[in-house]
Structure 1
Amino acid sequence: MRGANAKLRLASETIDEIDVVIKDVSMRFDTREGTVTAVDGMSFEIKRGEFVSIIGPSGCGKSTVFNIMGGLVGGYEGTVTVGGESVSGPHPSIGMVFQEESTFPWRTVIDNVAFPLEVKGVGKEERHATARKFIEMVGLSGFEQRYPSELSGGMRQRVALARTLVFEPKILLMDEPFAALDEQTRVLLGDKVLKIQQDLRQTTLLITHNITEAVQLSDRVLIMTFRPGKVKRIVDIRLPRPRSSDVVGSDAFGRYVAEIWNDLREEASRGMADAEEAARARKG
């Protein structure tokens, strides 16, 4: 556990083991009310094969960090490197899963999942064989010929996850992919995500506002301050792996949730006070 600008790195590690480096990243946006600093001087590193979650109050810049890492936005200060290579746009090593519904309603499950391979010009037989592998991995075998309208929300998100995995990215970024789902479904889907991450040995970063999800899945949880977003603290989750949702009921799990909630409550309270003050200013 460390303070602002802390790094996700152990003394025994070498730089070759670090997959992602975020160094002194700041992002500002121009608004009608003036310039808003969304992220301010964030620095952290993610080790190869780690599962790291970023959690913080609404408006703290979590999704901004996600978009910067994925190469979707520019105009920021600082540097982002993947495998020692600077990120200046979408990177072939990075796959992204978004919160919004992203399946193609006119395509079956197998054709949704195979779509990235189709774009690359892979033949139908080969791309369907590869797609079936990842459909099985996300637990949707038997649903290959179904359309998204025939699936639950959780199943559609698994289709989106399989579609991202099909081109086998080394690094997976997920921005609250299960936010619209009920708590029980989220926890059970967490088991799938853990198994996939373990099987593929992917470096994974999850943006979430759900403490249970962060503790269940992560090796480390990075807590952000309210805007401007900075690294407030990093919590090592020392729960055994391989891990499943069974751990959610343990005393150790509860202690991590309480510890992170104390930090998160402090920052969320700041955010609420800021919003109330802004509302009073508009009325006055």
Structure 2
Amino acid sequence: MKRVAIVTGASSGIGAATARRLAGEGFHVLAAARRTDRLVELVAEITATGGSATAVSCDVTSDESVAGLARAAQQAGAPVTVLVNNAGGARGLDPVESGAVGDWQWMYDVNVLGTLRVTQALLPMLEASGAGTIVVVSSTAGFTVYEGGGGYTAAKHAQTAIAGTLRLELCGRPVRVIEIDPGMVKTDEFSLTRFGGDVERAEAVYAGVAEPLLAEDVADCIAWCATRPQHVNVDRLVVRPLAQAAQHKVHRTG
């Protein structure tokens, strides 16, 4: 019987790469996101390569939508053992004094409350499996602040706090909590979303960086952590490209 892994934010970037990777590890993946058309394409790709996956339309900012994801998980016909809370994102790079409240609210709702909603909905199934794993995809922004990043770093700090608190609260129960903190990752959409579709500003983030992380690099870390023996809990895995020594220290050429 295949185990079930659930990946939120699976329509692109790290989420899509993680869905592919976990399917390759033998999981039946419930790929969840708002953009169902992309999920259908992803599932077709996974199936064509011998994997197993199902597309589930889910908006993590909606209680009703997350309840639908939980119903899909209950109907999967196999133990739900892995949840990857990947849905998230950034909007804006404005200082605190002029940051848009709407941007901050969106980042908190998606990154923090989205993680809360989905975890609460799926935790009973993860525990019932007897070998559950919750992965929280946070960021190096979850422990380091930087100018213009107040809204995003606040949200990621809060997401990191959820992971740490949950690990304490679940101690003694058969569910481990793993936090993945990527640094500079170049995906198709993260920076575009942050800068409202401004391609020039988005590309400038990675200018001169020979090899930023790719979504597949982070998916590899997630899959490795999630497939360790159940008694092994990787509390926090920080992963950056070689060119990035710290949040403010990035080697650029040219």
Larger Rg: 1
Q: TM-score, normalised by structure 2?
A: 0.36
Q: Which structure carries more helix by proportion?
A: 2
Q: TM-score, normalised by structure 1?
A: 0.33
Question: Relative contact order (alpha carbons < 8 A, sep ≥ 6): 1 or 2 greater?
Answer: 1
